[in-house]
Chain A
C-alpha cells in the first residue's frame, strides 16, 4: 500500500510528521514502526484538508465570520459554528482527492477476507483544539461500513475544527485561524475475541520487574469498567515466567453485532469461564508487546490490547492504547491525567447499546 502526500498508511514507511498527520495519526504511524501493532489503517493528511479548503475557496469567508466574535456571546458563536460546519459538509471533495481516499480504503479492505467496519477519527495538531482526548471523544465515528460512510465522516471530522468549543478555545488563547488544519484517521474496528489491559509493573507495590495482565472475553469495556472479573496474571518482565494467576469468573462478554452496528452482551459458557482466556503463547505475546511499549515510551505503561478475530494467528494481537502508568507512580498532588497516545480510548468509546448504526 502506497502512501502519498494526501494519504499515509500506518505501515507505509513514511517518516511521521505531526503537521501532516496530527497527534493521533503521527502516534499510530510511530507505534506501527516500533513494532507495536495498532489496528491497521491510514491517515488522511492535513494536506488533503488544505487542498479541499483551497478548492472550496471558503477560507476567506470563514475568517470573516470568525473575525470580531465575542467568546462570551454563546448564541452568536453557536450560530457561526453551525454555519461554517454546514458549509464544509456540503462542499464536494475534489475528484482527485476523493479517488485517493477510495483507493486507500479499498487497499485496507483487501487485507481481510470480507470488508470490515472502520472507525474514523479526527487527528488535530496539538495547538488547534482544546485537548486531544476531548477531541478524540467528540470526533470518533465507529462501525462505519462502505466508502460513502467513510468519506462522509472524514468531512465531519474536518468540520469539527469549528465546533463552538474549539472556536472559543482559540479566541481565548489568541490562537490565529490562519493555517488551521486537520488530519483524519481511518482505522479498522477491532473485532475483539479476547481483550484486556496490561501494566508493565506490579501496581500493588510499584515493582517494575513484573507485568500484570487482566484478560477477558470480547471487547475490553467490561474489564475497564469492572463489570466482569477478568483473569489476572502476573509475569516476570524479564523471563516472562508466570508468577501468579487467578482465573476470573468472566461471566459475560461484549461482542460486536456488525449487522446491528452495536455491541451486544452475552453470557460466557461454563467451559470458557473455567479456563484462562489467553493461551500461553498469547499471554507471552501480550507481555512482549507491553514490554515494547514501555521501552518505546521509556516509562511504565498501561496498555489496552485485543486479539482480533479478523486477523490470522500471530498477527491478531493489537495494541489499542498505551499511556504512562499513573496509579502507582503519581502522587495525588502532582496527579497528571492519563495521556492517550493511540486512540483516545477505544474502550471508553464502547458500551452496549450506545453505538449508532452507520450511515
Chain B
C-alpha cells in the first residue's frame, strides 16, 4: 500500500506576486535546491499554532529563537534519550517543523546523563524556579533601560571635556545588539523549565496510557493542570476592576472606552474614582504587559499601549455584572471535579501501581504549572517590551528617512537592520547622507508586495510523506500532531456524521450555537454573547472573550494548546487542531461542537450546487493540493 502524502514543498503553488519570496528570508531558513532529496524525505508539519500569519522578515526572530532554544534543551542540556530538537524552515512565509529523533544506538548512552540532569532539576525545583524568576525579570529590566534616541548634531561638549573619544554611535549599535541578545537570553530561559514540565507530564501521560489503555488525553491533562494560574491573572484583574466599578457606582463612565484619556479622566474625577484608579494602576504593572496576539508578531497590540482594549473588556464585564451574571471562573467546582477525577483513577489501581501513580502525578503537578505560567513572562512581558523597543528604533530610522511607514523595519531581517544601522551611523559620522533612504523604501515596497501575496494562501498543514506513526511526544502533545490527526488532514480519517470536522477533544461538553470566525485579534470586538468562536488559533489574552462564548474551535493546537487550557478552565467545550475550521466554517452558520468526541458539525451547511465541489470536505483544502510549475 502506498502511503498518502502531503505535497512536497516544490509542489505548492507560489501565489501570484510572491515570486522571489525566498530572498526576503535568511538562506538558512528556506529549503535548499541542493538539499532537495534530504529535505523531501522528511515530514514537516506547519506550526500555524504559533505563527498563523505570514512572517515579515524581521519576525522570524521569534520562531528562530523559540524553536532553536526548545531544541537545545532536548539535545544539549537534558540529553533527552529519544528526542533531539526540531528542525525548522520557512516556506511561502509559514514555519514548518520536523522533529529530529535520536538514533537507536545512542539512546541507551543518553539515559544516565538524562537522569542525572533532569534529577537535579526535579530535586531542586523550587529553588531553581525562584532563580529563574530573578533571571527573567533581570532581563526584562535591562531591556527596559534600552532606548534608541536620535543621534545628536554634534558630540556633546562634556564628552570633549572628559576626553571620551567616541561619538555615541557605538552606543546605538550596542543597544541594538544588546536588545537582540536579551531577547535571545529570555528565550533560552523560557525552555529551561518548559521541557522539564513536558517531561514530567509525559512521564505521567505514558504511565496512564499504560495502566489505562486509551484513557482520554483530556483526563490526563485535567489531573495535572493547575486551576488557578498566573496566565489568567490579567483577566482576573479586569474582572476585579469591573466589580469594583460596580461597587463604587462608576458604570456611567465606561460609555466610550475607546477614548482612554477621557474615560480615565472622568473616573479619576468621580467620587470613589481615586480608589478605582489606584487599583487600575496597580493592575497595569505588570499585568497589562499582555498582548492580544501571541507575542510573535510586530503588529501585536499590548494592553498597556492600547488601554482601550482592557477598558473595553472591563466595560463588558460591568455590563454583565449589572445583568446579574457571575463573571468569575468556577474555580471551586473545577478543583472539586479535578480531585474527583484523580481519586477515581487512583482507586482503580493497586499496590505498586498506585504508588507510581501518586509519585508521577505529584511530579507532573509540581512541574506542569510552569508550562501554563511561563507564557506571561516570556511571550507577553518580555516580548511586549522587546517589540516596543523595536518600534522605537523603527520610528527613529523612519524619521531619518530610511522608510516611508513608521513600522517598516519589520520588512528587514534582523541582521539587515544591523547593516542599516551602520549605514546610518556612517552617513551621520562622516556628515553625508546615508544610502538607506534611497535603497530601503523601494525594496520594502517590493517585500510588502511579496508578503501580501503570500498572505493570500493558507499554509499546507504538512509537507511530504508522514511517518506511519507519529510518536514523538512533544510534537504530539504541544502541536497535536498525532497519527490520527495527520490521517484526518489527508482525508483518510473516520468521517464525522452529517459532515463536518474532526479534531482533538480538548475540553469536554456539547453545545450548539452560531459560529463567529475570527482570524485576527482585531475582530474580537465582533464576537457576540453565546456565539461559538472559530479561529485559526487563539491567544490566552483573549481571556475576556471566553466569558462570552459557548465553545471554541481552532485549526491547530493540541491538548495543551492555549485554547484547550483556557476552555477547560472556563468549562467550555473545545475542539482544537481541526486543520481547516476557520476556512471551512462561515460566520453565522449553526454548529454543533462536541468537545468530548472532538467533532464539529455544521448544522445548516449550504448544499453545494451541482458541479461545485463539496464545500465541507475536511482537511487542508484547496490551498495545498493543487500542483504548480515552480
Q: Which of B65-73, B195-203, B211-219, B384-392 contacts A (4 or more CB under 8 A)?
A: B211-219
Instruction: Identify which of B216, B341, B345, B348 contacts A243 (C-beta below 8 A).
Output: B216
Chain A residues proximal to chain B, CB less than 8 Å = 202, 205, 207-210, 234, 236-239, 241-244, 280
Using Cβ atoms and an 8 Å threshold, which residues of chain A touch B341?
A: 238-239
Using Cβ atoms and an 8 Å threshold, which residues of chain B touch A237?
A: 344, 348
A207 touches B213 (CB 8 A): yes
Whether B490 is near chain A, meaning CB under 8 Å from some CB there, is: no
Q: Known: A207-B213, A280-B510. Is A242-B596 also a contact (CB below 8 A)? A: yes
Instruction: Identify which of B215, B510, B596 contacts A209 (C-beta below 8 A).
Output: B215
Using Cβ atoms and an 8 Å threshold, which residues of chain A touch B216?
A: 236, 239, 241, 243
Using Cβ atoms and an 8 Å threshold, which residues of chain B touch A280?
A: 510
Q: A210-B212, A238-B219, A239-B216 are in contact. List 17 more A-B contacts (CB 8 A).
A: A205-B213, A207-B212, A207-B213, A209-B211, A209-B212, A236-B215, A236-B216, A236-B219, A238-B341, A238-B345, A239-B218, A239-B222, A239-B341, A239-B508, A241-B597, A242-B596, A280-B510
What distance in Å separates the Cβ of A327 from its nearest Cβ neighbour in chain B? 17
B505 touches A241 (CB 8 A): yes
Which residues of chain B from 327 to 346 have a CB within 8 Å of any chain A CB?
341, 344-345
Using Cβ atoms and an 8 Å threshold, which residues of chain B touch A202?
A: 213-214
Nearest neighbor of A242 in chain B, beta-carbon distance = B597
What distance in Å separates the Cβ of A140 from its nearest Cβ neighbour in chain B? 36
What distance in Å separates the Cβ of B156 from its nearest Cβ neighbour in chain A? 69
Chain B residues proximal to chain A, CB less than 8 Å = 211-216, 218-219, 222, 341, 344-345, 348, 505, 508, 510, 596-597
Using Cβ atoms and an 8 Å threshold, which residues of chain B touch A210?
A: 212, 214
B348 touches A209 (CB 8 A): yes
What distance in Å separates the Cβ of B210 from its nearest Cβ neighbour in chain A? 10
B219 touches A243 (CB 8 A): no
B345 touches A209 (CB 8 A): yes
Nearest neighbor of A208 in chain B, beta-carbon distance = B348
Q: List 26 A-B contacts (CB under 8 A).
A: A202-B213, A202-B214, A205-B213, A207-B212, A207-B213, A207-B214, A208-B348, A209-B211, A209-B212, A210-B212, A210-B214, A236-B216, A236-B219, A237-B344, A237-B348, A238-B344, A238-B345, A239-B341, A241-B216, A241-B219, A241-B505, A241-B508, A241-B597, A242-B597, A243-B214, A280-B510
Q: Which of B211, B214, B505, B597 has the most chain A CB atoms inside 10 A of its CB?
A: B214
Using Cβ atoms and an 8 Å threshold, which residues of chain B touch A234?
A: 214
Nearest neighbor of B223 in chain A, beta-carbon distance = A238
Using Cβ atoms and an 8 Å threshold, which residues of chain B touch A236?
A: 215-216, 219
Using Cβ atoms and an 8 Å threshold, which residues of chain B touch A207?
A: 212-214
What distance in Å separates the Cβ of B31 from its nearest Cβ neighbour in chain A? 39
Nearest neighbor of B595 in chain A, beta-carbon distance = A241
How many Å lie between the Cα of A3 and that of B560 in the bound state? 56
Instruction: Identify which of A238, A241, A244 contacts B596 (C-beta below 8 A).
Output: A241
How many Å lie between the Cα of A210 and that of B344 in the bound state? 12
Nearest neighbor of A280 in chain B, beta-carbon distance = B510
What distance in Å separates the Cβ of A303 from its nearest Cβ neighbour in chain B? 18
How many Å lie between the Cα of A208 and that of B353 in the bound state? 13
What distance in Å separates the Cβ of A236 from its nearest Cβ neighbour in chain B? 6
How many Å lie between the Cα of A202 and that of B212 in the bound state? 10
- What 10 A-B pairs have minimum CB-CB distances, sorted nearest first? A209-B212, A238-B344, A241-B216, A208-B348, A243-B214, A241-B596, A207-B213, A209-B348, A239-B219, A238-B341
Using Cβ atoms and an 8 Å threshold, which residues of chain A touch B505?
A: 241
How many Å lie between the Cα of A280 and that of B597 in the bound state? 11
What distance in Å separates the Cβ of B575 from its nearest Cβ neighbour in chain A? 13
Using Cβ atoms and an 8 Å threshold, which residues of chain A touch B213?
A: 202, 205, 207
B214 touches A241 (CB 8 A): no
How many Å lie between the Cα of A236 and that of B505 in the bound state? 13
What distance in Å separates the Cβ of A211 from its nearest Cβ neighbour in chain B? 12
A244 touches B344 (CB 8 A): no
What distance in Å separates the Cβ of B519 from its nearest Cβ neighbour in chain A? 30
How many Å lie between the Cα of A338 and that of B427 in the bound state? 94
How many Å lie between the Cα of A234 and that of B216 in the bound state? 12
How many Å lie between the Cα of A208 and that of B348 in the bound state? 6
Using Cβ atoms and an 8 Å threshold, which residues of chain A touch B344?
A: 237-238
Instruction: Identify which of B214, B218, B508 contacts A244 (C-beta below 8 A).
Output: B214
Using Cβ atoms and an 8 Å threshold, which residues of chain B touch A238?
A: 219, 341, 344-345
Using Cβ atoms and an 8 Å threshold, which residues of chain A touch B597?
A: 241-242
How many Å lie between the Cα of A355 and that of B218 in the bound state? 48
Using Cβ atoms and an 8 Å threshold, which residues of chain A touch B348?
A: 208-209, 237
Nearest neighbor of B346 in chain A, beta-carbon distance = A238
What distance in Å separates the Cβ of A202 from its nearest Cβ neighbour in chain B? 7
How many Å lie between the Cα of A210 and that of B215 in the bound state? 8
What distance in Å separates the Cβ of B209 from its nearest Cβ neighbour in chain A? 11
What distance in Å separates the Cβ of B242 from its nearest Cβ neighbour in chain A? 33
How many Å lie between the Cα of A241 and that of B216 in the bound state? 7
How many Å lie between the Cα of A205 and that of B344 in the bound state? 19
Using Cβ atoms and an 8 Å threshold, which residues of chain A touch B510?
A: 280
How many Å lie between the Cα of A33 and that of B216 in the bound state? 33
How many Å lie between the Cα of A158 and that of B505 in the bound state? 57
What distance in Å separates the Cβ of B251 from its nearest Cβ neighbour in chain A? 41
Nearest neighbor of B508 in chain A, beta-carbon distance = A241
How many Å lie between the Cα of A234 and that of B508 in the bound state? 16
Using Cβ atoms and an 8 Å threshold, which residues of chain B touch A239?
A: 216, 218-219, 222, 341, 508
